[in-house]
Amino acid sequence: MSTVHHPTAEPLDATAAPSRLSTLDRLLPVWIGLAMVVGLALGRIFPDLDNWLDRVKVDTVSLPIAIGLLLMMYPVLAKVTYSRLGHVVADRRALGLSLVLNWVVGPAVMFGLAWLMLPDLPEYRTGLIIVGLARCIAMVLVWNDLACGNRELAAVLVALNSIFQILAFSILGWFYLDVLPGWLGLDSKGIDITVWDIAKSVLIFLGIPLLAGFLTRTVGERAKGTEWYERRFIPRIGPIALYGLLFTIVILFALQGERITDQPLDVARIALPLLAYFAIMWFGTFAIGLRLHLPYDRNASIAFTAAGNNFELAIAVAIGVFGVASGQALAGVVGPLIEVPVLVGLVYVSLAARRRYYPQP
């Protein structure tokens, strides 16, 4: 592992026990619920809100939503220790397992669940497939920390998933939304999507914060050292991601509020394949790690990375390609409302599994 040296800084211990999360982070499900309620209320109070938001756009996304999405992504990507990439690549077994689960198994599982459970709802089905393609690069760091996973491995997997999404997301989107349904004889009518449609959203809403995060860490560590960057700078910008997420949820629910309140059964139907997906991916991955005799901290990191999804990117792509009021965008919005409580619950499951399957000497 390479570190940036500074006269007053010592390399940080990547294996140190996770620090206690702030009240802001621990109550994340509460804040998301409040943001949803506020958004629904705003949608009722200001019925012309969508017209106002469409006045200024970034690509095809209104400026306020674009700002919220970028704010979500930047702090998490600024936390990634890019210099550790080479160190963790040496663990080919853990790295290979994670990449296969994220980029082969995960999208295929979501594709199957979406078609199995939503055969009559093509917009929601497409939205869930997009969610399955957006591999987790953000909140997995929170779940990993809570579950005492390996911080270094999680950080590297986040960096790799970021790079892979730039390179592969648009191709996989085209494959799962157009090519594969045709091969299987499935009705894909109404899906009009190109590689470039998705690539634009990926490059804007992932590429920009990825570059900003990389430059921030590089410049910050060179100027002030690793200890200052990790212990002072990162805690200051960390809450920005949550503020961006909550702001985006408020706006999206304000725009989608009528559909959510008028179609609660549709929301429930979107939730069912998401619940099945999280369960299949986490328990399946953790079981594979046990069979491979992976240490607990690495097994937990891989399991949460495989189960989580980058809803920020999924929402951005759905809005950019299909529009802010689309069913695809609604599926993306429902995503984090299901993921947060489920993965918080899986943190406790993970810690219980550690006590049972990884007895301490």
> Looking at residue 19, what is its pLDDT?
43
Q: Check residue 14 and give its pLDDT.
A: 35
Residue by residue, pLDDT tens for the chain (361 residues) are 333 333 333 333 333 334 455 666 667 778 878 888 898 888 888 877 767 776 776 665 678 878 887 887 788 778 877 776 666 666 788 888 999 999 999 999 999 999 999 998 888 999 999 999 988 866 687 788 788 888 778 878 877 887 788 778 888 888 998 889 888 887 765 455 566 766 777 777 778 888 898 899 999 999 999 999 989 998 898 888 788 878 887 887 787 677 677 778 888 999 999 999 999 999 999 999 999 999 999 999 999 999 988 877 788 788 777 877 788 888 888 887 788 788 888 988 999 999 999 987 5
Domain ranges of the chain: 23-355
Joined together, the tokens standing for residue 218 give 């590089």
The pLDDT, as a whole number, for residue 15 is 37
Burial-class residue 7 by CB neighbours within 10 Å (0-12, 13-18, 19+). Answer: exposed
pLDDT at residue 137, rounded to an integer: 67
Residue 135, φ and ψ in degrees, nearest 5 = -75, 150
> What integer pLDDT is reported at residue 263 of this predicted model?
76
Write the CB contacts of 79 (distance below 8 Å, at least 6 apart in sequence). Answer: 141, 155, 213, 234, 238
Give the integer Cα–Cα distance in Å for 353 and 58: 45
Q: Give the model's pLDDT for residue 3.
A: 35
Report the pLDDT value the prediction gives residue 193, as an integer from 0 to 100: 58
- Global pTM value: 0.76
Of 3.90.1150.10, 1.10.260.40, 3.40.50.1980, 1.20.1530.20, which CATH number belongs to 23-355? 1.20.1530.20
Q: What pLDDT score does 22 carry?
A: 61
Question: In this predicted model, what pLDDT tens digit does every residue of 308-336 receive, in sequence order?
Answer: 888 777 887 887 778 777 888 888 888 87
Tens digits of residue pLDDT in 87-130 = 666 678 888 899 999 999 999 999 999 999 999 888 899 999 99
Position 156 scores a pLDDT of: 81
